[in-house]
Structure 1
Amino acid sequence: MAQVLEFKLPDLGEGLTEAEIVRWLVEVGDVVAVDQPVVEVETAKAMVEVPCPYGGVVTARFGEEGTELPVGAPLLTVAVGEPADGGEPEGSGNVLVGYGTAAPPARRRRVRQAPAARPTAHQPAPAGPVNGSSGSPHAGADRAAAAGRTERAAGRGRRAGGPAGPAPAAERPVDGPVPVISPLVRRLARENGLDLRRLSGSGPDGLILRADVEDALRTGATAVSGPPHAGDPHAPVRATAAQIPAGQTPGAQTPAARTSASPASGVRVPLKGVRGAVADKLSRSRREIPDATCWVDADATELMRARAAMNAAGGPKISLLALLARICTAALARYPELNSTVDTEAREIVRLDAVHLGFAAQTERGLVVPVVRDAHARDAESLTAEFARLTEAARTGTLTPGELTGGTFTLNNYGVFGVDGSTPIINHPEAAMLGVGRIVPKPWVHDGELAVRQVVQLSLTFDHRVCDGGTAGGFLRYVADCVEQPAVLLRTV
């Protein structure tokens, strides 16, 4: 006889207490194997595929795409066969990226209060099942959730000025997944009441980009935000031109109405997920770290020639970022004060033995800082390969929490954006960050004569608690000397 088991969102580790459902990988009725990925979720650290520890038939799913669930909330139920010994079915026990699947967490974390439109107290699920079979133990909740979604869909149609009945077949959205470039685009559309199935994407193969959603909002394809609904503080009321009283033009609205509907109010993008985590970390850095910045121009002509000679000799290509990273690790060996962190409670500076080098990577989901472990023990080839691997994982959103944490020093190559200099915010709780601008031909005095050389601006932002300007200046000068004369590195090889 089959037994129905409930799989809950596991403890994600790294202090994470919630995740947003980005994409379901299975449907109700599908047969899943042990440890088969069943859902893709987005946390404040990364996007993760969550595998199910049970093998069997999926009988119900909990939460639609875009729903945010706390740790410990049900994800799905699986009907499994009765074990031969008559005991309880067990999970696989395999450990995932940052968390395990064998059992739910022993200690529940405190999570945010769920909205009012949630299941009753006897059912812990924060969102009703998307679909399920009538034989499921959650069948009643399935029907209630489906009815609630139908009611909300009808309400959205009435608020948008559409007919009370179902939409004509020609205007009804097409079933199936909508190709969207990132969860941020899906969230932006959802917050503004925009149906993505009615948009034509301008990306490859009809992919819907953020620009497509913003254009639709600007041209009035969706409703504009109005004052919050008195009955539900979480659901903003939408208004369209059809709802403006007769005889009143948009320009003749009251000052309050003009304020809420004017373009100056902009589009509200929630600070959640990766963007929210970045905002929290940078705000904390600015509050806690008394930072200072020094910079210097350096002649990178010889470094560029050395790289060209390395790559001409055959073998794996060496990236410029890898050479700069090698220079950083050599400089940190001379100035270990900058590879440290401050323990504010103990009022101590902790100097770290290993260099775990973070580097800034811009992605569709925002800025992330992958970490190269033990960068001080790697050569240029190893650094090049690791930078390439982490950059690709950042672009595809598959970085693990472990690959995004634990950095001790950050290298920020903002020259890829075509800028010369910057004063970046330190990546808390680190103590320093080296910035590298673009390398461009400039007039430069070389060997007593004016010449055109490849010049780069280097900047160092440092925590003034761990060292003074003399140490920071010595570090930056050593980096500049290695850039100008790569042979200086031979002293540390």
Structure 2
Amino acid sequence: MARVNFRLPDIGEGIAEAEIVTWHVKVGDMVEEDQPVADMMTDKATVEMAAPVSGKVIEVAGTVGDQIAIGSTLVVFETEGGEEEAAPAPAAKEEPAAPKPDPVPSKQDTVRPEPVEGRAVSAAPEARASTKPVLSDAAGGVEGLSTNGGETRKVLASPAVRQRAKDLAVDLAQVHPAAGDRVKHSDLDAFLKYQGGGSAFASAPRSAPIAAGEDEIEEIKVAGLRRRIAENMAESKRRIPHFAYVDEVDVTAVEALRAAMNETRGERPKLTMLPFLIRAITKAARDFPMVNARFDDEAGVVQRHSAVHLGMATQTDAGLSVPVIRDAQAHDVWGLAAEIVRLADATRRGKAKREELSGSTITLTSLGALGGIVSTPVINRPEVAIVGVNKMVERPVVIDGRIEVRKMMNLSSSFDHRVVDGMDAAKFIQAIRRLIEVPALLFAD
């Protein structure tokens, strides 16, 4: 028997270390060559590391959240052979779903965006229908007979994938390969994410009340993108003196316009309130360039942008991410609606490109129907402004001495008080309010 030391290869220019975000194997597992063993995260991407040899895992470098230096041993394998050797470094497989946004990925990053190949979730879902006995083949894959709604079909999967599915009580017939006809770890990860997995930070409801004296403590290690979110949220609040401003907006007219436009939209995407708000932000930013800016506080330089690259906060199963609508000022409301759908879908599936997750100059965030009355959004450093949308409600309003039922909504906002004065912040939000309350102005040059 021989020991093979698999050392962490150079997985990016200037990268000195990488963080373990997922282990696909454990000590004692038998693995095949090219089988995924771990996901490693750098500042630029998440990279899947595959076994360079077939053999038994006898040592692993650390636990999830540990930083591993480039060139140090990641996994030690025991193989059939003679003397100890170092495994050749395989080509790292880079995934585009975990780029590090400009200095603050806080709102852009998540624990993990929607799963892509090689990703795993941290918690198993509830038990599902178990698989039937499987038949091993000589090629190292497994051809199994599984059922799905009464229909029996063959499922191809490696022994490791088959065992993992068995441990999780997942019927592999329900797992559809992203490519080819063989179920991989990534396909199982995606199934778990979509069908009941999710962020380790999500709260699970309890089936029964907790009696006095009983306290079950669950420890969840803050690792990967969640760790970066925590670090950068703290950095944003530590370095930026936030100034909050909230204003009330009558959205009755724009809601009527939106409904009328949707009735004749044809094949175009359905309009929500967001395209109108984005349109208002881009028009108001012309008169308030100090809010459409990025502040390099270390260099002492504020970069004011003429184009609005709008960060659009998007909720995923694993957390909040912020893809960027480039040149938002150049889109009409239909174009903005299409970009919102496209970017939100790509982000939730973990398919957003690196350039689509960085470079924003101002951010719009919304909690939708859960928007509450007021929020105090955290600025996405190095930006200097963020606008938050709260929920829409119908309530009586006095207009010219009459009481009318109107649709009202609050806009909550935060500004970097080092760069944006309070008066300018208030006037900016009031300009947005004016555009929304008289929606014809949104379409006037």
The aligned counterpart of 1:339 is 292
1:50 paired with 2:38, answer no
Ranges in structure 2 where 5+ consecutive residues have no aligned partner: 78-87, 99-161, 171-191
Following the alignment from structure 1 to structure 2, what is the Cα–Cα distance between the partners of residues 434 and 180? 44
The aligned counterpart of 2:242 is 291
Ranges in structure 1 where 5+ consecutive residues have no aligned partner: 79-88, 100-173, 182-201, 221-249, 252-261
1:481 paired with 2:405, answer no
Q: What TM-score, normalized by structure 2, do the two folds share? A: 0.61
Q: Which amino acid aligns with 1:270?
A: K
Structure with greater proportional strand content: 2
1:425 paired with 2:395, answer no
Q: Which amino acid aligns with 1:454?
A: K
1:425-457 deviation digits (Å, cap 9, x = unpaired): 211111001111101101123455211111000
- Contact 2:366–2:389 (8 Å) recurs in 1: yes
Following the alignment from structure 2 to structure 1, what is the Cα–Cα distance between the partners of residues 272 and 300? 40
Q: Which amino acid aligns with 2:434?
A: D
1:24 CA drift (Å):
4.3
The aligned counterpart of 2:420 is 467
The aligned counterpart of 1:168 is none
1:463 CA drift (Å):
1.0
1:156-213 deviation digits (Å, cap 9, x = unpaired): xxxxxxxxxxxxxxxxxx94245599xxxxxxxxxxxxxxxxxxxx999786996898
Q: How many residues were matched structurally? A: 339
The aligned counterpart of 2:365 is 412
Following the alignment from structure 2 to structure 1, what is the Cα–Cα distance between the partners of residues 343 and 194? 25
The aligned counterpart of 1:198 is none
- Contact 1:44–1:277 (8 Å) recurs in 2: no
Q: Which has the larger radius of gyration?
A: 1
The aligned counterpart of 2:164 is 176
1:305 to 252, 256, 259: 256
1:342 CA drift (Å):
2.1
1:325 paired with 2:278, answer yes
Following the alignment from structure 2 to structure 1, what is the Cα–Cα distance between the partners of residues 249 and 301? 35
1:280 to 227, 231, 237: 231
1:458 CA drift (Å):
0.9
1:258-303 deviation digits (Å, cap 9, x = unpaired): xxxx83x954333322222122112111111122111211110111
RCO comparison, higher one (Cα < 8 Å, 6+): 2
Following the alignment from structure 2 to structure 1, what is the Cα–Cα distance between the partners of residues 197 and 169? 6
Following the alignment from structure 2 to structure 1, what is the Cα–Cα distance between the partners of residues 33 and 193? 34
1:65 CA drift (Å):
8.6
1:40 CA drift (Å):
6.8
Following the alignment from structure 2 to structure 1, what is the Cα–Cα distance between the partners of residues 274 and 218? 36
Against the structure 1 CA distance between its residues 94 and 70, is the aligned structure 2 distance closer, same or farther, given a 3 Å change threshold?
closer
- Contact 1:360–1:412 (8 Å) recurs in 2: yes
Identity %: 30
The aligned counterpart of 1:117 is none
1:69 CA drift (Å):
5.4
Q: What TM-score, normalized by structure 1, do the two folds share? A: 0.56
1:316 paired with 2:268, answer yes
1:312-339 deviation digits (Å, cap 9, x = unpaired): 1123122322221222122222211001
1:462 CA drift (Å):
0.7
- Contact 2:46–2:97 (8 Å) recurs in 1: no
Following the alignment from structure 1 to structure 2, what is the Cα–Cα distance between the partners of residues 356 and 370? 10
Following the alignment from structure 2 to structure 1, what is the Cα–Cα distance between the partners of residues 351 and 56? 26
RMSD: 4.6
Following the alignment from structure 1 to structure 2, what is the Cα–Cα distance between the partners of residues 65 and 58? 22
1:308 CA drift (Å):
1.2
Q: Which amino acid aligns with 2:268?
A: P
Following the alignment from structure 1 to structure 2, what is the Cα–Cα distance between the partners of residues 409 and 427? 8
Counting only pairs closer than 5 Å after superposition, residues 361-440 of structure 1 correspond to structure 2 as: 361-399=314-352, 401-440=354-393
- Contact 1:340–1:430 (8 Å) recurs in 2: yes
Following the alignment from structure 1 to structure 2, what is the Cα–Cα distance between the partners of residues 326 and 438? 19
The aligned counterpart of 1:270 is 221
Structure with greater proportional helix content: 1
1:13 CA drift (Å):
7.4
Following the alignment from structure 2 to structure 1, what is the Cα–Cα distance between the partners of residues 365 and 383? 13
Q: Which amino acid aligns with 1:421?
A: V
SS of match in other structure, 2:383 = coil
- Contact 1:301–1:453 (8 Å) recurs in 2: yes
Against the structure 1 CA distance between its residues 71 and 326, is the aligned structure 2 distance closer, same or farther, given a 3 Å change threshold?
farther
Following the alignment from structure 1 to structure 2, what is the Cα–Cα distance between the partners of residues 435 and 301? 19
1:468 CA drift (Å):
1.4
SS of match in other structure, 1:294 = strand
SS of match in other structure, 2:418 = coil
The aligned counterpart of 1:256 is none
The aligned counterpart of 1:237 is none
SS of match in other structure, 1:334 = coil
The aligned counterpart of 1:19 is 19
Report which stretch shifted further, 293-302 or 397-406. 397-406
- Contact 2:8–2:89 (8 Å) recurs in 1: no
Following the alignment from structure 1 to structure 2, what is the Cα–Cα distance between the partners of residues 70 and 427? 29
